[in-house]
Amino acid sequence: MPGCAAVGCTNSNKKRFLMKHFPIDAARRKMWLEKMKRDNWVPTNYSCLCEVHFEDQMWEKTREGGSKRLKCDAVPTQFFLPYLVLMLGGISTRWKKTVAYFFTGKSVNGNVYHDIVVDIISKTESIGLNVVALISDMGPSNQSLWRKWNITAGRHCKLSNFLPLPLDDNRKLFVIPDVPHLFKNIKNMLVRNIY
Ligand SMILES: [Zn+2]
């Protein structure tokens, strides 16, 4: 069974989410598609949406421990736009500030993302703050940025965790994966019994 077809959703059967096939009935299938707002996309008979896109009232009342069933006229309504948020935060003092956010599609162009990050670094430095590190999760957009900067970390490759600070070659910009995100992933895996 494939992963969820909703834009920005990576839930799947493998991650222990209940997956629902698109209705065979053309009118109902059209209704689902309209709610998803995924332009120019046509589902196959194997396409699925995961359970999180259906509100509570879309499910049949089941007995305790019974299997979860969608009502026959259920429509998915819970969709979110994927977005990218960039924040600045202090190291020696506690502060943080959102400086940019973008509503994105399923992926972000690495070159565009790179230019945005360099622009933010330059503006941050211009007001007298020193940029020392870039912290991000391991999402595909961030990995594309890592690749562009030849940042590598892994059992079978040489560790490369910094680059010359854009606009000032004499200083280093360290690139660090988001450790709280790692804890969140471990928690989710434990809760969902995936080891
Ligand atoms: Zn989903």
Q: Report the alpha-carbon distance of residue 181 to residue 100 in Å, rounded.
A: 20
User: pLDDT value at position 195?
Assistant: 63
Q: Report the alpha-carbon distance of residue 150 to residue 146 in Å, rounded.
A: 6
- How far away, in angstroms, is 19 Cα from ligand 1 center? 8
Q: What is the pLDDT of residues 74-114, one digit of tens each?
A: 999 998 877 889 999 998 898 999 999 988 866 788 889 99
- How far away, in angstroms, is 145 Cα from ligand 1 center? 25
pLDDT more than 90, % of the chain = 50
Q: Report the alpha-carbon distance of residue 179 to residue 135 in Å, rounded.
A: 9
- How far away, in angstroms, is 53 Cα from ligand 1 center? 6
- How far away, in angstroms, is 115 Cα from ligand 1 center? 30
- How far away, in angstroms, is 55 Cα from ligand 1 center? 12
Average pLDDT along the chain: 88
Confidence class for position 1, pLDDT limits 50, 70, 90: low
Q: Of 15-29, 116-130, 134-148, where does mean pLDDT reach its minimum?
A: 134-148
Nearest to 18 by CA among 44, 52, 59: 52
Mean pLDDT for 122-139 is 92
Q: What is the pLDDT of residues 7-36, one digit of tens each?
A: 878 889 988 899 999 999 999 999 999 998
> Would you say residue 184 has pLDDT above 80?
no
Q: Report the alpha-carbon distance of residue 108 to residue 124 in Å, rounded.
A: 23
Cross-strand partners of 59: 70
The H-or-E segment that residue 78 falls in is none
Confidence class for position 173, pLDDT limits 50, 70, 90: very high
Residue of higher predicted confidence among 151 and 139: 151
Residue of higher predicted confidence among 66 and 36: 36
Q: Is the pTM of this model over 0.75?
A: no
Confidence class for position 144, pLDDT limits 50, 70, 90: confident
Nearest to 12 by CA among 52, 57, 69, 65: 52
- Structure-block tokens of residue 83: 């977005």
User: pLDDT value at position 182?
Assistant: 78
Q: Report the alpha-carbon distance of residue 158 to residue 176 in Å, rounded.
A: 15
